[in-house]
C-alpha cells in the first residue's frame, strides 16, 4: 500500500522529518504504520520524497528521507471560480478539482448563493484539510491554492481563457467554444460555475464583458457540483 503524507515545504529540506500531529495520528491510529515502513512525502509545491519510518510513538512519526524528486506544475494554470453551494457539495468539488489538477480554487458569493459561512476562517481551514486529504489520495505533487471567499464582483478575470457555465441563450456547447479558440496554448484558464440557482443574467453579462465565454454542458441541467467536475474534466482533456 502506497502511503502519501503531506509535510510543510521547509521540512522537505531536512534529512529526517517529524510529521505533524495530524499526520502522525492518521498514520498511527488509522493506517497502523510500523518502523521500517516506506512513505511518500510531498510538500504541495512540486517536491516529493521517498522516506522510511524510523520511529513511531503516540505523539509523532519520524521518517528518514531516502530519495527526492521535483515535479513541474501543470502546463496550464486552471482556476475554478465556484459560487459557494451547500457544504457537502462544495467539499466534493474541492476533492475532484484537486484530483483534476486545478491550480487555484476561488469560492465566490453570487446573487443566488444560499450558503454563507458563519465562521469563514474556520471553514477555510476545513476546506484546506479536504484538499490535502484529496492530494494524498490521488498522489499529486501540487496542492491547489485556495483563496478566501469573495463576492463575484471583486474577482478579476485576467486569464488567457475563461469560460462561464450558464443557461444563457447565447452560450455555446463546450466543444464548440474550444474549437473557436486560438489554438495557441494558454498559460492561464478559468472556469466559472454558478450556485444552485445559476448566475443572474447581469452576472453572466459582466463576466462576458470581462472576456469570459458562456458555455453549456449538454441538454441536461446539471447540479453545480456536477457542472464543475464536468467542466474541469473537459478543460484538463483539452489543455493538458
CATH number of the domain encompassing residue 126: 3.40.1280.10
- What local confidence, expressed as pLDDT, does residue 76 receive? 94
C-alpha cell at 81: 471560480
pLDDT of residue 79: 98
Return the CA Rg of the chain.
20
pLDDT > 90? residue 62 = yes
Residue 177: how many CA atoms within 13 Å on its side-chain side?
24
pLDDT at 118 over 90: no
Mark residue 210 as left, alpha or beta (left: phi above 0; alpha: psi -120 to 50; beta: remaining).
Answer: alpha
Q: Is it the case that residue 177 has pLDDT exceeding 90? A: no
Range of the domain at 43: 4-70
Instruction: Return the exposure string of 114-149: e unless at least 16 CB atoms fall within 10 Å of the residue's CB, then b.
Output: ebebeeeeebbeebeebbbbbbbeeebbbbbebeeb
52 and 94 share a domain? no
Among candidate residues 70, 85, 106, the one where a domain is terminated: 70
Q: By C-alpha distance, which of 217, 95, 210 is closest to 157?
A: 210
> How many CB atoms sit inside 10 A of residue 40's CB?
16
Q: What is the pLDDT of residue 158?
A: 92
Q: What is the pLDDT of residue 169?
A: 79
Domain with 58 in it: what CATH number?
A: 2.40.240.20
Q: How confident is the model at residue 162 (pLDDT cuts 50, 70, 90)?
A: very high
pLDDT (average), residues 112-125 = 87
Which residues in the chain belong to E strands, given as ranges?
A: 4-6, 16-18, 38-42, 47-56, 61-70, 77-83, 104-109, 145-146, 150-151, 161-165, 172-173, 188-193, 213-216
Given 15, 48, 70, the domain boundary residue is 70
- Whether 117 and 190 share a structural domain: yes
- What is the rounded average pLDDT of the residues 123-151? 94
Q: What percent of the chain has pLDDT over 70?
A: 99
Burial, 64: exposed, middle or buried (Cβ in 10 Å; 0-12, 13-18, 19+)? middle
In the chain, the largest separation of any two C-alpha atoms, in whole Å, equals: 62
Distance from C-alpha of 179 to C-alpha of 165, rounded to nearest angstrom: 17
Specify whether the CB–CB gap between 48 and 136 falls below 8 A.
Answer: no
Distance CA 74, CA 98 (A): 12
Q: What is the pLDDT of residue 140?
A: 92
- Tell me the sheet residues that pair with 50: 40, 67
pLDDT over 90, % of the chain:
72
- Give the pLDDT score at 106: 98
Last residue of a domain, one of 13, 42, 70: 70
- 60 with 121, same domain? no
Task: For residues 42-47, give the mean pLDDT.
Answer: 94
Instruction: Tell me: pLDDT of 115 over 90.
Output: no
* Same domain flag for 91 and 204: yes
By mean pLDDT, which of 22-26, 62-66, 152-156, 227-231 is the weakest?
22-26
* pLDDT mean across residues, the chain: 92
Task: Reduce the DSSP state of residue 53 to 3 states and report it.
Answer: strand
pTM strictly above 0.85: yes
61-75, 133-147, 172-186: segment of lowest average pLDDT = 172-186
Amino acid at each position: 500500500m502506497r502511503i502519501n503524507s503531506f509535510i510543510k515545504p521547509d521540512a522537505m529540506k531536512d534529512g529526517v522529518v517529524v510529521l505533524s500531529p495530524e499526520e502522525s495520528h492518521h498514520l498511527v491510529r488509522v493506517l497502523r504504520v510500523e518502523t521500517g515502513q516506506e512513505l511518500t512525502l510531498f510538500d504541495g509545491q512540486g517536491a516529493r520524497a521517498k522516506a522510511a519510518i524510523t520511529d513511531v510513538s503516540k505523539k509523532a512519526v519520524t521518517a528518514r528521507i531516502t530519495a527526492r524528486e521535483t515535479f513541474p506544475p501543470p502546463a496550464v494554470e486552471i482556476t475554478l471560480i465556484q459560487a459557494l453551494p451547500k457544504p457537502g457539495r462544495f467539499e466534493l468539488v474541492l476533492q475532484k478539482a484537486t484530483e483534476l489538477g486545478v491550480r487555484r480554487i476561488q469560492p465566490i458569493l453570487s446573487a443566488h448563493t444560499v450558503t454563507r459561512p458563519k465562521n469563514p476562517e474556520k471553514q477555510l481551514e476545513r476546506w484546506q484539510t479536504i484538499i490535502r486529504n484529496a492530494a494524498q489520495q490521488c498522489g499529486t505533487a501540487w496542492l491547489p491554492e485556495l483563496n478566501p471567499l469573495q463576492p463575484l464582483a471583486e474577482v478579476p478575470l485576467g486569464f488567457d481563457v475563461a469560460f462561464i457555465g450558464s443557461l444563457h441563450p447565447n452560450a455555446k456547447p463546450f466543444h464548440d467554444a474550444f474549437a473557436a479558440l486560438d489554438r495557441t496554448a494558454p498559460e492561464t484558464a478559468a472556469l466559472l460555475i454558478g450556485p444552485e440557482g445559476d448566475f443572474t443574467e447581469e452576472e453572466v453579462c459582466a463576466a462576458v464583458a470581462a472576456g469570459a465565454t458562456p458555455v453549456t454542458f449538454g441538454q441536461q441541467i446539471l447540479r453545480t457540483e456536477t457542472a464543475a467536475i464536468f467542466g474541469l474534466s473537459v478543460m484538463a482533456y483539452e489543455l493538458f
